[in-house]
Amino acid sequence: MADEFILETHGLTKEFAGFFAVRDVSLKVRRGHIHALIGPNGAGKTTCFNLLTKFLRPSAGTILYKGQDITATAPADVARLGLVRSFQISAVFPHLTALENVRVALQRQHGQSFDFWRSKSVLNRFNGRALELLNDVGLSEFANTPAVEMPYGRKRALEIATTLALDPEMMLLDEPMAGMGHEDIDKIAALIKRISAKYTILMVEHNLSVVANLSDVITVLTRGHVLAEGSYADLSKDERVKEAYLGAGHA
Amino acid sequence: MTAMTDDTLPITPRAMRDEMIVFGLMAVLLAIVPFTGIYPFFVMQALCFALVACAFNLLIGYGGLLSFGHAMFLGTAGYCSAHALKVWNLPPELGIVVGTAAAFALAIVTGYVSIRRQGIYFSMITLALSQLLYFIYLQAPFTHGEDGIQGIPQGRLFGVFDLSQPTILYYVVLAGFLGAFLLIYRTINSPFGEVLKSIRENEQRAISLGYKTDQYKWLAFILSGTLAGFAGALKVFVAQNASLTDVHWTMSGEIVLMTLVGGLGTIFGPVVGAFVIIAMQQYLAGFGQWVTVIQGVIFVACVLLFRRGIIGEVAHYFKRSL
């Protein structure tokens, strides 16, 4: 089982003072898949996402990653297990250059991150790998640009490059295409498709059409629980999904 | 280098070269002070505060943590050094070690308590802890309460350098300052400094990359507190006393003020800020209580008119990192 499903949740629930943002969600993410979590505003997608990445503590339920219970594991430790997240608002280090952004991710595994007496020139040995990663996402020309000066779409790409630097087994992407123009959406979608050859991806998305061509499996959330799950072809015929998205009157 | 749109410049080889040139300039200027007729006591005092401000700046400028209790390190190290020198009759080098070690131990404990909270809560906890210590020092017998520890013997450093000679004392304080300054500079430009900056910029993201950010902030806090303590130990030899002034919360405020006036998150800003504030206290002393008012006006002007601080504005103007 653990080999087939990289991430599983059982009865995942998050209650905020009587309000159930996420209720009894059981997910199974198959290794190597792009799995999308979609739903209308307020469906609990981001809450669910924050539970999976441990930035929120669930009220009930368990989370298994590669068969190991990570329900009570700290966020930094989850990242070390190879389960790495992105953020809805592009999460880069604005005053570090693109190269330095990626390098911060690379240096962690090499155990010198507490060395305050060493020159940071020891980090130059990561430059080659960092440039490779930037190149992979089409950012080599931005290597020496501070992230704050990069266009929005490029920041998202930089975020993905930084995540890839950790060599994760699974990536959790929080609305990777939010706030982007069509051109950027296509670029990032192509990038996600390409990296999915190596990694399992769970992405949260607001827009069904964005994930239509990208995902192997789509889970639809409404009001905190799972409404339906299946391929895009299945779901597009499902009346309940149409209703959830368009409202009862339009169904 | 491309045009910068914001306050902080990325460190490039050129920036490092610029900074080393300015450092050399600063070292030379400070080294010739005894030959200029400037009152050395004033410069020594300013150097001690400059070091405290630099240590404070390491925490806020590079770690994003505003400590409002840094006087506790200055004062604790001062009292412990003074006690070691006067009561235990230890030689100066051991007196400095005792004071610095006390600040180190204090930073480990207070850091552990405060570092788990963010923003204003962190500042409030550091303030509360320093107030707690203030009242302990007010009551504890070894500090002699309101009187403080007076008439501390300066002795001979390593049995060689007679610290009662103002010129020798000056160069010892200067050497201590420059050494600690370089250590701070190195820390900022180390692998650790890179992680610290990334935590300042986006802590959630740093966590998601697998960094246990509390540990990094704790180490930054310990380094900062220990270096502030080292400054406090040096100051004992300059002032030859240790008093409640150095643990009072207004001292913590002055450290913040020095750093803001000079330039938060700049390498040289806190040094310039400390000299400006100490010079004001020294040369405006004739105005009595009005010095506080003048300081307040300068603080307001600083926040309203040049928010990057003196060095911050200069660096921004020349598009350099200083």
Q: What is the DSSP secondary-structure string of B227-292? A: HHHHHHHHHHHHHS-B-GGGGSHHHHHHHHHHHHHH-TT-SSHHHHHHHHHHHHHHHTGGGTTHHH
B197 Cβ under 8 Å from any chain A Cβ: yes
Q: Do A166 and B210 count as a contact with CB atoms less than 8 A apart?
A: yes
Quickly state the pLDDT bin for B123 (edges 50, 70, 90). Answer: very high
Lowest mean pLDDT of B1-10, B153-162, B247-256, name the range.
Answer: B1-10
User: To the nearest whole number, what is the mean pLDDT of chain A?
Assistant: 87
Residues A153-181: pLDDT tens digits? Answer: 888 889 989 998 998 999 998 888 877 77
Q: What is the pLDDT of residue B4?
A: 36
pLDDT at A2 > cutoff 50: no
pLDDT at B216 > cutoff 90: yes
- Which residues on chain A are in Cβ contact (under 8 Å) with B184? none
Q: What is the pLDDT of residue B175?
A: 95
Q: Do B191 and A113 count as a contact with CB atoms less than 8 A apart?
A: yes
Q: What is the pLDDT of residue A247?
A: 59
ipTM of the complex, rounded to two decimals = 0.82
CA A162 to chain centre: 12
A93 Cβ under 8 Å from any chain B Cβ: yes
Quickly state the pLDDT bin for B6 (edges 50, 70, 90). Answer: very low
pLDDT at A245 > cutoff 80: no
Q: Do B191 and A122 count as a contact with CB atoms less than 8 A apart?
A: yes
pLDDT at A251 > cutoff 50: no
Q: What is the pLDDT of residue B26?
A: 93
Residues A102-130: pLDDT tens digits? Answer: 999 999 888 788 888 888 888 888 999 99
Smallest Cβ distance to A104: which of B6, B186, B209? B209
| Mean pLDDT computed over B291-302 | 83
Residues A175-203: pLDDT tens digits? Answer: 888 777 788 888 888 888 888 888 999 99
Q: What is the pLDDT of residue B8?
A: 39
Query: CA B204, CA B199: separation in Å to the nearest integer?
Result: 8
Q: What is the pLDDT of residue B92?
A: 92
* DSSP calls for A145-161: SBGGGS-HHHHHHHHHH
Q: What is the pLDDT of residue B13?
A: 64
- Which residues on chain B are in Cβ contact (under 8 Å) with A122? 191
**A114: nearest CA in chain B?**
B192
Quickly state the pLDDT bin for B176 (edges 50, 70, 90). Answer: very high
Q: What is the pLDDT of residue B2?
A: 36
Nearest chain A Cα distance for residue B320, angstroms: 14
Q: How many CB atoms lie within 10 A of CB B137?
A: 24
Q: What is the pLDDT of residue B12?
A: 58
Give strand pairing partners of A7.
Answer: A29, A65
Q: What are phi and psi of B319, to 5 degrees?
A: 50, 45
Residues B197-208: pLDDT tens digits? Answer: 999 999 999 999
pLDDT at A9 > cutoff 60: yes
Q: Do B223 and A148 count as a contact with CB atoms less than 8 A apart?
A: no
pLDDT at A250 > cutoff 50: no
- Which residues on chain B are in Cβ contact (under 8 Å) with A166? 209-210
Output the pTM of the full model: 0.87
Q: Do A148 and B5 count as a contact with CB atoms less than 8 A apart?
A: yes
Q: Of A166, A169, A165, nearest to A2 (Cα)? A: A169
Nearest chain A Cα distance for residue B287, angstroms: 43
Query: CA A214, CA A226: separation in Å to the nearest integer?
Result: 20
B 10-29: CB under 8 A from A:
10-12
Residue B56 corresponds to which tokens in the numbers above? 């404070």
Smallest Cβ distance to B10: which of A84, A97, A112? A97
Quickly state the pLDDT bin for B68 (edges 50, 70, 90). Answer: very high
Q: Of B167, B285, B163, nearest to B236 (Cα)? A: B163
Query: CA B183, CA B178: separation in Å to the nearest integer?
Result: 9
Q: Do B186 and A119 count as a contact with CB atoms less than 8 A apart?
A: yes
Please answer whether residues B1 and A88 qualify as being in contact, where contact means their C-beta atoms are separated by less than 8 angstroms: no
Contacts of residue A170, Cβ cutoff 8 Å, sequence gap at least 6: A6, A7, A29, A65, A82, A83, A84, A199, A200, A201, A202
Amino acid at residue number B298: I
Residues B129-172: pLDDT tens digits? Answer: 999 999 999 998 888 888 888 888 888 888 888 888 889 999 99
A 131-170: CB under 8 A from B:
144-146, 148-149, 162, 166
pLDDT at B44 > cutoff 90: yes
**How far is CA A104 from each of CA A87, A108, B151, B186, rounded to the nearest angstrom?**
17, 7, 50, 17
**A159: nearest CA in chain B?**
B205
Lowest mean pLDDT of A46-55, A99-108, B45-54, B313-322, name the range.
Answer: B313-322
Residue B195 corresponds to which tokens in the numbers above? 């992680």
Query: CA A162, CA A85: separation in Å to the nearest integer?
Result: 11
| Mean pLDDT computed over B175-181 | 96
